[in-house]
Structure 1
Amino acid sequence: MSMMEEPDVVIIGAGAAGTGAARTLAKAGLKTLVLEALDRKGGRAWTKTAAGSVVDLGCGWLHSGDRNPWTRIAGEIAIAVDRRPSAWGGQFRDLGFTPSERDGAHIAFERWTDRVSATPPLSDIAADALDPADGWTSYLQALSGYISGDELEHISCKDYAAYNEASTDFNWRVATGYGALVSAAIPAEATVRLSTPVEAIGLDGGRVEIKTSVGIVRADAVIVTISTNILAGDTIRWPSVLDAWREAAARLPLGANEKLFLEIIGSAPFEDETHLIGDPRDASTGSYYIRPFGQPVIECFLGGAGARGVAERGHEAAFARATDQLAHLFGSNIRRNLRPLIASDWTRTASIGGAYSHALPGHSNARLTLARSYDERVFFAGEATHSTDFSTAHGALQSGERAAHEVIAALQLKP
């Protein structure tokens, strides 16, 4: 990268939001440069092939698939979307979670959801809507970990209710990987520089100055799509005029979510497209999706305390715990059929620092603050700026499109 490189717009981040922005700017004919700290495109959408199986280490489901714009984009670039119902909510062979227990747990979740939406506590703390008499607090905490990446004590009722009201029950997949879809969608017209972390943003002159590890770029506008944890942190030096945006980002932290994939070896009692919860009485339990697309793997999804444990104790301990949970349900003999394959490490990824955004109690309006632009030169995108579809790749995509349209309008007004 030369010191003289001066595109119309710089996008910081080549994830779903950056892709949405780049696609919109390309259609407008603007010269766009995308800077990405990682050595790959996709951000928190990352498809890998391990031992012949295609796995998504980040987002894997097209939530609200019937209205998800990634469904349309997949069709445009000839990538098939699998619309079969998910096995979520099922418990394979009722192991460790009987039908009557599941009924009780689901009723407790529905009642909690109704309270959050219809009669939320004045504190706006989702945990304050719990009814300990239901007897399923640990189960609801586990679900909160999967959905929001954190415990209910740290979740805004208003924020959660907005997401829940907007979402649909259609959760679809891409056999070739959600991450592969996101990476394939970035337009050829945009120049993408990988392994190029941004170090500082300058606003002293008329143009925006972006200092990177390999040089300085100047542009008429910049779209910031980095995670809220990075925006609120000190990895990048920001001008003080952006303090309000950084404070808003701190109120919209990333939760913790990780995935472990176990390879199935030999003949084992695992059936295609089945699911179970490891221990519904344990808030840190894994959620196990067995043989997705018939592949010989088990995906262990962890949220909240379970995911933080991966960062604290390491992958070896996490794989051992997941194997223990499965052996408890299927019998100790299945240990010989399971082998650690691959795992995510989002919490310790320096340029990301977590999974997806949730609003702290009392701060759901921080999303509106974060979505505002500054001086028609600095624009913000990312799932955290979306008022209802935060924590999703389609919310990120739409936020990038929104920011790009704002840039186009602002540049049209400039002489």
Structure 2
Amino acid sequence: MSSLPSAVDVAIIGAGAAGLGAAHALKDSGLSIVVLEARDRVGGRAYTIQAAPDVVFDVGCGWLHSADQNSFVGIAEQLKFEVNRELPPWGQRAYGDAFPQADRDAFTLALDEFYDRIEEAAQQGKDVPANIYLEPGNRWNPMIDAISTYVNGCELDRVSILDVDAYEDTNINWRVRRGYGALIAAYGAQVPVALNCAVRLIDHAGKRVRIETSRGTLDAGRVIVTVPTNLIADEAIRFSPALPGKVEAARGLPLGLADKVTLALDDAEALPKEGNLRGATMRTEMGTYHIRPFGQPCIEGFFGGRLAQTLEDAGDGAFAAYSIDEIVSFLGNDFRRKLKPLSESRWSHDPFARGSYSHALPGHADKRAVLAAPVDGRLFFAGEATSPHFFSTAHGARDSGERAAREVLAKSAE
């Protein structure tokens, strides 16, 4: 949008999956809407780039998790985006000798038993840190903790067992050949979005809500807030009157950190397509690697938790350097000359994300419902952190936006 409207029925803050889901649900309602987005693009933490002429890279989310229940699958089909239904590389397509099959089997058993203990403990209703349920002395504990850094964006000592138990995963994971971020950007092209429009203040003291942005001020009858929890927790967007309950809820649902890197691979035929590479490192600080996704001449690396934060803080190129060293340790020094950095994410340093996806701190699993609750019939909240069971996912975010839109429509009908 080249100009900002002075007034709308509904203002939606954030053009990530949640904001776009809300906008789509309202676009034919007869209400005037606008999506206010601080970035110069839509998609939020979904972002696809052309990292090289022959490499498409999802800098953010890349997998259609719980694909049999994922609302973006149908959207992909409507928008003519090819969905790849092949098995994901983890678990099925191990490559190399760094993690022998017998060790993988032992690790998988230990991981499954850990989650069984979590599930049993969660039935008691007491919320404690998940690391309590690691088996004392189990040699796989550091790597189980590494899995948490990928899944939750943090180590197990910062994760609520009730939150772990609440998450639903059908274990069906598909991909979008042109990129998940590209799909969500195409989805966003169908609704009115004002880019480069950072919201600073939401003043809900009067009959209508006044919104101060970097592009001027507008007022709205109702507002749907879909920004990441860290922005609410840090009060990067202020509410007047203040909403201490929302700020407290957001602080109980911080964004963990998961980052990615992609490396160009010369002599790509030397490695199989869609392989998974990681070592039985017996440490939490480790990467996991996807060899030649979609057959592309590259390797993607994935990092989470404190290691990801350390590498982000080390500056541009740190993920690539760490990845190359680790891959070479698995495959031999000849591979060093075959690998070249292409692109990497640094989500905690992104001012409009400040992290990757939410987890509930121990004792705070109930804060998802608190964050999702409307205020005064005029302020509504969405985003992956408000999803009761599909948090940390793009489809959970989109569906929460649709839920907030229904709440708006119900209020408008009164």
Report TM bin, short chain: over 0.9
Paired position in structure 2 for 1:66: 68
Paired position in structure 1 for 2:197: 196
Q: Spell out, residue by residue over 1:374-394, the C-alpha distance to the aligned partner (whole angstroms, 9 max, x if none).
A: 011100000000111000001
Q: Spell out, residue by residue over 1:338-384, the C-alpha distance to the aligned partner (whole angstroms, 9 max, x if none).
A: 00000111110001100000000111000010000001110000000
Alignment of 1:127 with 2:128, yes or no, is no
**TM superposition shift of 1:2:** 6.1
Contact kept? 1:279, 1:285, Cα under 8 Å: no
Contact kept? 2:155, 2:305, Cα under 8 Å: yes
Give the SS at the match of 2:50: strand
| Counterpart amino acid of residue 254 in structure 2 | P
Paired position in structure 1 for 2:149: 145
Identity of aligned residues (%): 43
Paired position in structure 2 for 1:98: 100
**TM superposition shift of 1:320:** 1.2
Alignment of 1:269 with 2:273, yes or no, is no
**TM superposition shift of 1:77:** 1.5
Q: CA separation in 1, counterparts of 2:58 and 2:322?
A: 21
Q: Spell out, residue by residue over 1:172-206, the C-alpha distance to the aligned partner (whole angstroms, 9 max, x if none).
A: 00000000111111263x32111111111101211
Paired position in structure 2 for 1:368: 369
| Counterpart amino acid of residue 339 in structure 2 | L
Cα separation, partners in 2 of 1:90 and 1:329, compared to 1, 3 Å: farther
Q: Spell out, residue by residue over 1:268-294, the C-alpha distance to the aligned partner (whole angstroms, 9 max, x if none).
A: 632111112245412121110010001
| Counterpart amino acid of residue 371 in structure 2 | L
Cα separation, partners in 2 of 1:315 and 1:92, compared to 1, 3 Å: farther
Q: CA separation in 2, counterparts of 1:22 and 1:395?
A: 15
Give the SS at the match of 1:134: coil
**TM superposition shift of 1:313:** 1.1
| Counterpart amino acid of residue 139 in structure 1 | M
Give the TM-score normalised by structure 2.
Answer: 0.96
Give the SS at the match of 1:238: strand
Contact kept? 1:283, 1:305, Cα under 8 Å: no
5 Å-filtered alignment, 1:35-54, equals 35-52=36-53, 53-54=55-56
Give the counterpart of 1:157 among 161, 173, 198: 161
5 Å-filtered alignment, 1:7-46, equals 7-46=8-47
- Moved segments of 4+, more than 3 Å: 1-4, 90-94, 120-123
Q: CA separation in 1, counterparts of 2:390 and 2:4?
A: 38
Contact kept? 2:204, 2:241, Cα under 8 Å: no
Paired position in structure 1 for 2:111: 109
Cα separation, partners in 2 of 1:36 and 1:267, compared to 1, 3 Å: closer
Q: Which moved more, 1:114-123 or 1:317-326?
A: 114-123
Contact kept? 2:204, 2:239, Cα under 8 Å: no
Paired position in structure 1 for 2:338: 337
Q: Which moved more, 1:271-280 or 1:16-25?
A: 271-280
**TM superposition shift of 1:103:** 1.2
In the alignment, structure 1 segments of 5+ residues that lack a partner are none
**TM superposition shift of 1:123:** 5.0
Give the SS at the match of 2:230: helix
**TM superposition shift of 1:310:** 2.1
Q: Spell out, residue by residue over 1:296-331, the C-alpha distance to the aligned partner (whole angstroms, 9 max, x if none).
A: 111101111221122221232321111011001110
Cα separation, partners in 2 of 1:333 and 1:402, compared to 1, 3 Å: same
Q: CA separation in 2, counterparts of 1:350 and 1:267?
A: 36
**TM superposition shift of 1:241:** 4.0
Q: CA separation in 2, counterparts of 1:240 and 1:32?
A: 24
**TM superposition shift of 1:102:** 0.9
Give the SS at the match of 1:105: helix
5 Å-filtered alignment, 1:280-295, equals 280-295=281-296
| Counterpart amino acid of residue 57 in structure 1 | V
Alignment of 1:88 with 2:90, yes or no, is yes
| Counterpart amino acid of residue 64 in structure 2 | L
Contact kept? 2:58, 2:181, Cα under 8 Å: yes
Give the TM-score normalised by structure 1.
Answer: 0.96
| Counterpart amino acid of residue 411 in structure 1 | S
Give the SS at the match of 1:92: coil
Q: Spell out, residue by residue over 1:132-158, the C-alpha distance to the aligned partner (whole angstroms, 9 max, x if none).
A: 332111111110000000000000101
Cα separation, partners in 2 of 1:232 and 1:325, compared to 1, 3 Å: same
Cα separation, partners in 2 of 1:16 and 1:257, compared to 1, 3 Å: same
Q: Which moved more, 1:363-372 or 1:78-87?
A: 78-87
Contact kept? 2:347, 2:354, Cα under 8 Å: yes
Give the SS at the match of 1:324: helix
Cα separation, partners in 2 of 1:75 and 1:206, compared to 1, 3 Å: same
Q: CA separation in 2, counterparts of 1:46 and 1:267?
A: 25
**TM superposition shift of 1:5:** 1.5
Give the SS at the match of 2:110: helix
Q: Which moved more, 1:245-254 or 1:234-243?
A: 234-243
Paired position in structure 2 for 1:172: 174
Q: CA RMSD in A?
A: 1.5
Paired position in structure 1 for 2:221: 220
Q: CA separation in 2, counterparts of 1:14 and 1:125?
A: 33
Q: How many corresponding residue pairs?
A: 410
**TM superposition shift of 1:246:** 1.1
